[in-house]
């Protein structure tokens, strides 16, 4: 059975291109799946069409570590991601569905050990309140696939004052 059979596109008949569905781990140095093939512009603020996959389908699409973070709201160890030191120009996309979430221009060195951004691309992330620790935190996730990315705090740099503290394993870098 084709994997597409499992994909449910909510609210509409928009079919996702193969590039959006064909996620597999990409060898270092190779070009990521083309963002141009996606149904939305890589960096426009347009709302995205949500996708929903079964838990079993996510397990086949993601590595165990990605699954734990994206689908179970896990947190990777600090300083464990190569994206922490990624300074090239480009886009940081959701590792679950390839949707670009952050521009490299909004990345900054927070010193926390997690890739950090002061601004997300408009309408690409959605938030919820997380009570896993004693104090409530604002969790954010990919607006398209719902994959957990990290938490956003109000101690970031100008101009937004926000700090999106992201799991590197939940992102993939797309060089410009």
Q: Which residues bind Zn ion (CB under 5 A)?
A: 94, 96-97, 99, 142, 144-145, 147
In 3D space, the residue among 156, 71, 50 whose CA is nearest the CA of residue 109 turns out to be: 156
In eight-state DSSP terms, residue 166 is E
Catalytic, 165? Answer: yes
Q: 40 vs 145, which CB is nearer to Zn ion? A: 145
Q: Which is nearer to Zn ion, 16 or 165 (CB)?
A: 16
The C-alpha atoms of residue 80 and residue 95 are separated, in whole angstroms, by 16
Minimum CB–partner distance for residue 93 and Zn ion (Å): 8
Q: Are 149 and 141 in contact (CB under 8 A)?
A: yes
In the complex with Zn ion, the residue whose CB is nearer, 74 or 157, is 74
Sequence-ordered alpha helix ranges (H) in the chain: 18-21, 55-61, 64-72
Q: How far is the CB of 51 from Zn ion (least distance, A)?
A: 8
CB of 102 to Zn ion, least distance (A): 12
Angle at 95 between CA 80 and CA 30, to 5 degrees: 85
Task: Show which residues are catalytic.
Answer: 165
């Amino acid at each position: 059975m084709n994997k597409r059979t499992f994909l449910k596109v909510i609210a509409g008949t928009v079919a996702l291109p193969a590039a959006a569905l064909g996620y597999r781990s990409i060898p270092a140095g190779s070009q990521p799946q083309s963002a141009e093939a996606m149904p939305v512009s890589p960096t426009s603020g347009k709302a995205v069409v949500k996708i929903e996959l079964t838990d079993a389908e996510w397990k086949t699409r993601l590595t165990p570590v990605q699954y734990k973070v994206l689908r179970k709201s896990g947190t990777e160890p600090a300083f464990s991601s190569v994206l922490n030191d990624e300074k090239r120009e480009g886009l940081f996309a959701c590792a679950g569905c390839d949707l670009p979430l952050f521009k490299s221009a909004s990345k900054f060195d927070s010193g926390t050990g997690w890739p950090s951004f002061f601004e997300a691309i408009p309408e690409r992330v959605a938030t919820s309140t997380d009570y896993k620790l004693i104090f409530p935190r604002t969790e954010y996730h990919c607006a398209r696939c719902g994959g957990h990315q990290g938490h956003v705090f109000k101690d970031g740099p100008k101009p937004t004052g926000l700090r999106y503290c992201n799991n590197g394993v939940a992102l993939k870098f797309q060089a410009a």
